[in-house]
Amino acid sequence: MKRVTILSRLEKTGVVAVVRGATKEEALQASHAIIKGGMTGIELTFTVPQADEVIKELVAVYSKRADIVIGAGTVLDAVTARLAIMAGAEYIVSPSFDAQTAELCNLYQIPYLPGCMTITEVKEALKCGADIVKLFPGSAYGPSILSAFLAPMPQVSLMPTGGVNLENMADWFQAGAVTVGVGGDLLAPAAVGDFEKVTETARQYAAKLKEIKG
């Protein structure tokens, strides 16, 4: 089943890079730099100009590498989700839950990862078939919140995003995260054109993940 295979690959990435950029070129270069550093999960956000074109290009370049999973982020509605899926996105991430987007992703057998902040939102997302719930923004809580969510809903898979960094990544996994989303410190050098620094930081994340997962 397509969706199960994608989910398995997505969980194996461990760390998903949330890629933003002022231009299409910046986002493309940043994505290549991240993959060069050994990270294999890319969430290309729709705040990037011509985001669908960036996704299409990345999918074309890395289609022969099963370890690399390219998805779309900051997807606010079903129209954008379909645009992303047609471009080749293998999963859809939203900052909030949207029922129509969930239905569309179910239709195309694409994992949907909506952003949730409360138990009520998590419950609604699960009812509509969300596969992994993005705990967003993670910075509003901290790792200890995961046990509070998992106590009444042990069946939920959580991906904290926002506020996850090299220093606290192990704490998030220890608290029960299936994977994490990172962006800020990883992407900051891209804004000034320092893609070598992006690769170097990606290497640190890949090494830290290996250390955590053993």
Between the alpha carbon of residue 193 and those of residues 26, 43, 199, the distances in Å are: 8, 20, 12
Amino acid identity for residue 131 in this structure: D
Q: What pLDDT, on the 0 to 100 scale, is given for residue 1?
A: 82
Of 143, 142, 131, nearest in space to 174 by CA: 143
The single residue of 26, 57, 90, 134 carrying the catalytic annotation is: 134
Task: Give the per-residue pLDDT at 125.
Answer: 97
Q: Which residues of 132-157 are buried (b: 16+ CB within 10 A; e: fewer)?
A: bbbbbebeebebebbeebbeeeeebb
Matching residue, tokens 């078939």: 129
Contact 138, 172 (CB under 8 A): yes
CA–CA gap between residue 46 and residue 5 (Å, rounded): 24
**What six digits make up the tokens of 183?**
């962006």
Q: In which residue are the tokens 């009520």 written?
A: 120
Output the pTM of the full model. Answer: 0.97
* 134 flagged as catalytic: yes
Local mean pLDDT, 10-residue blocks, the chain (214 residues): 93 97 97 98 98 98 96 98 98 97 97 96 96 93 93 96 96 97 94 97 98 91
Q: Spell out the CATH class of 2-207.
A: alpha beta
* Residue pair 131/112 in contact by the 8 Å Cβ criterion: yes
Give dist(CA 73, CA 78) in Å, integer: 13
* Cβ atoms 101, 78 nearer than 8 A: yes
List the chain domain ranges. 2-207
The answer to whether 130 and 115 have CB atoms below 8 angstroms apart is no
CA 61 to chain centre: 19
Distance between CA atoms of 96 and 133, rounded to whole angstroms?
10
Q: Is 56 designated active site?
A: no
Phi, psi (degrees; rounded to nearest 5) at 116: -135, 150
Rounded to an integer, what distance in angstroms lies between the CA atom of residue 24 and that of residue 17? Answer: 16
Active-site hit among 26, 43, 57, 90: 43
Q: In angstroms, how far is CA 103 from the centroid of its own chain?
A: 19
Cβ atoms 111, 16 nearer than 8 A:
no
- pLDDT for residue 18: 98
